[in-house]
Structure 1
């Protein structure tokens, strides 16, 4: 049996205006865990959502993300940023070295509210659910100047993503003009 070693920056890349994803270990490599490096641009908010089957792990490599992983006292449909758990938990500002584990059926979200791209390591079990999800959402994001919200919603249903609050991408003007690779220093 052979393992997989990838030098920095290597792996299959998918780039869209909303994210850059580098596949690090996938089902095709024999992995039961899908592992990705993700660049989250300024202004990207994945929106609160749950997965019935998948569990996820996020590790911030560079930058700062706002993270949430709990059932709130009240699920509001427009925004998760002010949610609070019965125990008093709130959204956390996570910097390099912080992590978030999300078991199935747990509402969770992340947002880059900073002015700089954020790099994170992202793992999902089972493989290849998120591999297929990232491939398909890249096609939807790159299909035109606007994103077909109905296509995103239909795709998310097929991949066990139950959206609670909307996905948003409102890049700051100066960040929107930079390509993703230049924004992350590559």
Structure 2
């Protein structure tokens, strides 16, 4: 039996051009929080990622599913130690708990969508990164001490967001 409609939930139309979009600078990447867990009652979040050439996160794992659709460029995913190339139009699903990371190997900036289910990664990125004005905003100039603090914050908050940095 399908439950009744929940009229307290509203339609979400997301665009990185919306004035309410939050942009996060994190490890040289810029992420737009398109649809947050707050908007989906925690079911999922959707993040547009812009990753500079050579950019990407360190190896990590988490207990939730993560799906990427490459919009521009080429991303090399390392999944359980094996490298896999994904070009524009490709979709990659990372199963929960599997060690992985990715690297932009395009020679130019890359763009992709990242969906995490359930949500939480959106909150983690917001708490670990720095809010910036938009895609074209430069990342903050951080001292070595500030960079070390951001890294430590990522490590300290990872368990709260069901993640582990490897």
Point out which structure has higher relative CO (alpha carbons under 8 A, 6+ apart). Answer: 1
Counterpart CA distance in 1 for 2:16 and 2:129 is 22
- Report if the CA contact (8 A) 1:68-1:110 is conserved: yes
1:34 maps to which residue?
45
SS in 1 for 2:38: helix
More strand by share: 2
- TM-score under structure 2 length normalisation: 0.75
SS in 2 for 1:6: coil
**1:46 paired to 2:57:** yes
Counterpart CA distance in 2 for 1:63 and 1:100 is 14
For this pair of structures, how many residues does the alignment match? Answer: 144
- TM-score under structure 1 length normalisation: 0.68
1:79 maps to which residue?
none
Counterpart CA distance in 2 for 1:121 and 1:61 is 7
Match of 2:159 among 151, 157, 172: 157
Q: CA deviation at 1:47?
A: 1.9
1:18 maps to which residue?
28
Instruction: Spell out, residue by residue over 1:77-113, the C-alpha distance to the aligned partner (whole angstroms, 9 max, x if none).
Output: xxxxxx3xxxxxx311211011111121111110113
- Report if the CA contact (8 A) 1:13-1:20 is conserved: no
**Which 5+ residue runs of structure 1 have no aligned equivalent?**
72-82, 84-89, 165-186
Q: CA deviation at 1:158?
A: 2.6
Residue pairs, 1:37-186, within 5 angstroms: 37-51=48-62, 53-69=63-79, 71=80, 83=81, 90-127=82-119, 129-139=120-130, 142=140, 144-146=142-144, 147-148=147-148, 149-164=151-166
